[in-house]
């Protein structure tokens, strides 16, 4: 697999991570044989250090440092919420034009952490596909910015407001996921890390990195006539 490189300089490199690719080896995904770190290291011929995470099922911008000092500085920026992140997601139903989601999320030990997301609705679609008791199916394309960085934050937040992301398991709508799989042969999580913006840790210049949507996401966009 050849990874799409979106940005590269002497300290940083960013890729458009495919949906389904793990960032690194994990005991909870023993089935995986390929990892973004390993693939990118082999592709560029040097060590790379991930400075943040996007989960396995999510595609889009994934940023790496090329040395330890840069890794530490970028991780500090992420921890201090100084990095602007924008995601695209296709969700069930018609979402409000814009909304703030202020809903704490539990860690593995049960402790609650504050979690805050803002989003705006970009497009809506109503398909002539019956769903449950409804004669049609409704969907929205949203641009979401998580202001905190909790595990599966966007997936949990959109479930909380009853607009789950299509293709999400276990936080999504199983009936919608079954519909997409049976009607369109689609089981990809429709969540894409579209944009990162931050201050370069060495030069101090503003850096903005955008990732184009990938094949399955684009295919669903066409189904929606977007």
Find where tokens 């609705």 sit.
121
User: Quick one: pLDDT at residue 29?
Assistant: 53
**pLDDT mean values, one per 10 residues, the chain (226 residues):** 95 97 70 83 96 94 98 96 97 98 91 95 96 93 94 96 96 95 96 98 97 97 97
Give pTM, 2 decimals: 0.94
**Known active-site residue 55:** yes
pLDDT in the model for residue 1: 76
* pLDDT tens column, 25-43: 665 555 656 889 999 999 9
Within the chain, residue ranges assigned H as helices are 36-44, 68-79, 153-160, 174-184, 215-223
**CA 158 to centroid of chain Cα atoms:** 13
17: its two tokens? 């991570």
Task: Say which of 9, 31, 55, 97 is annotated catalytic.
Answer: 55
Confidence (pLDDT) at 25: 67
- CA gap 197, 64 in Å, rounded: 14
How many other CB atoms are found less than 10 A from the CB of residue 151? Answer: 14
**pLDDT number for residue 30:** 55
Question: Which of 28, 20, 24, 29 shows the shortest CA–CA distance to 64?
Answer: 24
pLDDT for 47-64, tens place per residue?
A: 999 999 899 999 999 999
Q: How far apart are CA 114 and CA 72, in angstroms?
A: 24
Give, as one character, the DSSP assignment of residue 134. Answer: B
Per-residue buried b or exposed e for 30-61, using 16+ beta carbons within 10 Å of the residue's own CB: eeeeebbbebbeeebeeebbbbbebebbbbbb
User: What is the C-alpha to C-alpha distance for residues 196 and 29, in angstroms, rounded to an integer?
Assistant: 27
Average pLDDT over all residues of the chain? 94
The set of residues, in sequence order, having a beta carbon less than 8 Å from that of 33 and lying 6+ positions away, is none
**Burial degree of 105 (CB within 10 A; 0-12, 13-18, 19+):** middle
The pLDDT value recorded for residue 96 is 98
DSSP summary character for residue 85:
E
Q: Residue 115 contacts by C-beta under 8 Å, 6 or more apart in sequence?
A: 101, 102, 103, 104, 105, 146, 148, 150, 153, 156, 157
* pLDDT for position 28: 57
What pLDDT score does 94 carry?
Answer: 98
- Structure confidence at residue 27 (pLDDT): 55
Nearby residues of 59 by Cβ (< 8 Å), 6 or more positions away: 16, 17, 18, 19, 191, 192, 193, 211, 213, 214, 217
Q: At a CB cut-off of 8 Å and minimum separation 6, what does 168 contact?
A: 57, 155, 159, 177, 189, 191
**CA dihedral sign, ordered 137, 118, 142, 51:** negative
170 cis-preceded (ω within 30 degrees of 0): yes
């Amino acid at each position: 697999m050849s990874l799409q490189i979106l940005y590269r300089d002497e300290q940083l490199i960013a890729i458009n991570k495919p949906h389904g690719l793990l960032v690194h080896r994990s005991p909870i995904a023993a089935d995986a044989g390929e990892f973004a770190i390993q693939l990118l290291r082999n592709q560029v011929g040097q060590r790379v250090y991930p400075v943040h995470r996007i989960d396995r099922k999510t595609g889009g911008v994934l940023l790496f440092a090329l040395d330890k000092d840069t890794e530490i500085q970028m991780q500090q920026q992420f921890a201090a919420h100084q990095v602007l992140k924008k995601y695209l997601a296709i969700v069930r139903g018609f979402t409000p034009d814009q909304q703030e989601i202020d809903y704490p999320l539990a860690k593995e030990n049960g402790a609650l952490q504050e979690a805050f997301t803002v989003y705006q609705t970009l497009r809506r679609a109503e398909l002539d596909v019956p769903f449950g008791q409804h004669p049609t199916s409704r969907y929205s394309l949203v641009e979401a910015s998580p202001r905190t960085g909790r595990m599966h934050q966007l997936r949990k937040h959109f479930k909380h407001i009853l607009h789950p992301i299509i293709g999400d398991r276990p936080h999504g709508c199983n009936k919608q996921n079954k519909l997409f799989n049976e009607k369109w042969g689609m089981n990809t999580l429709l969540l894409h890390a579209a944009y990162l913006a931050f201050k370069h840790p060495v030069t101090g210049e503003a850096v903005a990195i955008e990732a184009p949507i990938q094949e399955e996401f684009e295919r669903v966009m066409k189904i929606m006539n977007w």
